[in-house]
Every structure is written in C-alpha cells, then in structure tokens.
Amino acid sequence: MNTQNLHSMTAPVSPSGGFGRGPIVPYVPGLDGLRALAVIAVIVYHANKQWLGGGFLGVEVFFVISGYLITLLLIAERERTGSVSFGQFWFRRARRLLPALFIMLIALITYVAFFERDYLGTLRGDVIAGVSYVANWFQIWTGSSYTSSAEFAPLRHLWSLAVEEQFYIVWPVLMFVLLRRVRGRAIAIFGGI
C-alpha cells in the first residue's frame, strides 16, 4: 500500500455530506465492512435462525458503531467550536433517518390499505410509535413479543431504531455535561466506555 492510499483512508471527511458543515471526523473504511457483516448476519438470522443463531447480534454491532461515531462527532464539534449544538446535531440525525422511515411507512400503509385491510386500524399505534421513536416502549406496553411470528407486525423491527434515537437524545446531553467538567484523557476513557 502506498502512502497516498494510506492518506486517503485516514483523511478527514465531513459527515454532513461534504458541504463543509458539521464537525470533521476521520473516515474509517473498516467500519463500512463491519456494518456490511452485521447486515448480512441479521438478514441470515431472519431468513433462518438455524443458519446463524447469533445473527441478531448484528444489531448490537450497529449500536456500538453508532455510539463510537456519535461520540467522535460530539467531541470533534466541541473541540472545533467550543460547544455542541444540540439543535444541529438532532437536525442532522433527523435529516439522515426520517426520509427513509417515512418512505417505508408510506409504502407499508399503502400495502396494508390494499392487501391487508383488516390490520389497518391496529397499525395506527405502531406507526405513531415508530415516527415518535418510542416503538420499543410501545411494544413493551402492548405486550408484543419481538420473536413472535404468529401475528402481523410489520413494524416490530422499529424497536432498534427507537433505541438508537433515544440514545441520540440522551448521549449528547450527557457528553455536554462531561465535556464541561472533564478534561483530557478522562474524556477519552469515558467516551470509550
């Protein structure tokens, strides 16, 4: 590997899509490979649990990668600007995740309206919980089992998106408090935990 390739692997890029906004963090190509393996593991697990019994752990891999990247973003923004803009942080998360969620929900509601009309009324709570990022709590409240395959529950998978979004709400506030009170290596140690 020549030095030009090595430099391109570690060159900083803007997570905001290259428009010069947002904090600068290094791009780590290996994380894309890890994400791909996690996706494959989850898909294989859902296709047939016997093929890859631990494939569900791919979701936890996503949580860890997300936590790592979000921590980097928050620390980089704090170092670059002296503060963390919660509004901008949450806007960037919404801009990244909500369009795909809305497209999926519109497609699902359209499908149910035409082919599964009996479920249209029961889907309302799941849709509201999904858009509100509280699907995990809604499923606990309604007693829905994630592993049950006996009932029609096309939005059951939104529990993981809800957990991630709840993390995005709590973690920046916690990091803000810590970044104001803690300096140097203690930040790196806490961020790593």
pLDDT tens over the chain, length 193 residues:
444 443 344 444 444 444 445 446 778 889 999 999 999 999 998 888 889 888 889 899 999 999 998 888 888 888 888 888 889 999 999 999 999 999 999 999 999 999 988 888 888 999 999 999 999 999 999 888 776 666 777 888 899 999 999 999 999 998 888 777 776 666 656 656 5
* Rounded to 5°, angle at Cα 80 from 75 and 85: 70
Q: Based on the domain organization, do 75 and 90 belong to the same domain?
A: no
The structure's pTM equals: 0.75
Q: How far apart are alpha carbons 108 and 120 in whole angstroms?
A: 10
Identify whether residues 136 and 173 lie together within a single domain.
yes
Q: Give how many domains the chain has, as a whole number.
A: 2
138 and 110 in a common domain: yes
CA distance 84 to 65: 20
Whether residues 89 and 67 fall in one domain: no
